[in-house]
Amino acid sequence: MRIPFSKIQPLPYVCRSFMPEVVMDCACILNPAAGSGAAARQPEALDAALRRAGYAPDWFVSASPEALADEVARAAAAPVLFVVGGDGTLHRVGNVLKGLGASPDLGIIPFGTGNDYVRSLGLPRDPFRAIARMPHLQAVPVDGGRVRWRGPAGEGTRYFLNVSGVGFDAHVAGAASRLRPYLGRWAYAASVLTALRGRPEPVLRVREGTWEAPGRVLFEGVVLFVSAANGAYAGGGMQLAPGADLRDGVLDLVIIRAASAMRILSVLPRAFRGRHESAPEVCRYRLPAFHVQSSIPLPLHADGEGLTLRATDVEFSVIPAAWNLFAA
């Protein structure tokens, strides 16, 4: 649903005489569910903040994930497109833009729970501070990732901006998305504890290269999960791939070997400080492409969004300069 500007007025305390001259038209995609509805409760304040920053916003509200594609298609012609939401909203917008072949400059006004991609971009996690920074930033080309999968339930392809993974972390991501409306930022930790019970222990073979051009075997054994990280952060602040660069033309492959529940609970918290890589259960590589074969069907996610519960063959590859994003 598109909201005419005439229906969005600045808050009463905003003095128009001190507003800068508008220098840029922009479109804003608003996810009303983001941040437990926090963004949807203050459109006037957001509009006023954007105008103070020198933007003339045109608002588009996505009533559902299904309606998002239509709203993005209408908004994509703008030179600047702000995504008002979290990692999941940005994931869906990024995929729609790829499908359209559109490339507006993208900015994130963070209203998610984890906001992991915002951390990787070096932006404030407070939405109004992020807006205030935008006029001082440039949109730069950043890499993305593509994940392809096959399994008993079918096959598919999706793009991701931050991280995609197969196994335990995908199971946790799905559980966290269901718990987030109730537990907020504690949803991920609660989901880890829940997922530890009855977790599968698949045998995975990880090879560099694509399906069509496979390379050497990097790893074969029982694992907890395998992730392809474009950014450094995942899981609401966990430094899954410390130092990962959004512009280096590779993905960071992170493998966590299977271990006891107590050992997992010892290693994973260290990842919030980026100190887990010294653990013997952790392997890391930096590659443009790799693929995974599993002995059993496993869940798969991209940017925390569940893709399938039954993937057996998964390929991850980097897409250089996939989007233009405002970054610090």
Domain boundaries, the chain: 2-136, 144-321
Helix/strand/coil for 36: helix
Relative to beta strand 203-209, strand 154-160 is unpaired
In terms of CATH architecture, what is 2-136? 3-Layer(aba) Sandwich (3.40)
Count of other CB atoms within 10 angstroms of residue 185 = 14
Instruction: Note the pTM of the prediction, 2 decimals.
Output: 0.89
Count of other CB atoms within 10 angstroms of residue 179 = 17
How many angstroms separate the CA atoms of 277 and 273, rounded? 10
Domain 144-321 part of CATH 2.40.37.10:
no
Judge whether 2-136 and 144-321 match in fold.
no
pLDDT of residue 318: 99
Over its length of 328 residues, how does the chain's per-residue pLDDT go in tens digits? 555 444 444 333 333 334 456 579 999 999 888 777 888 899 999 999 999 999 999 999 987 777 899 999 999 999 999 999 999 999 999 999 999 999 999 999 999 888 999 999 999 999 999 999 999 999 999 999 999 999 999 999 999 999 999 998 888 877 777 776 667 667 777 777 777 877 888 999 999 999 999 999 999 999 999 999 999 999 888 999 999 999 999 999 999 999 999 999 899 889 988 999 999 999 999 999 999 999 999 999 999 999 999 999 999 999 999 999 999 9
How many angstroms separate the CA atoms of 28 and 50, rounded? 10
How many angstroms separate the CA atoms of 86 and 98, rounded? 18
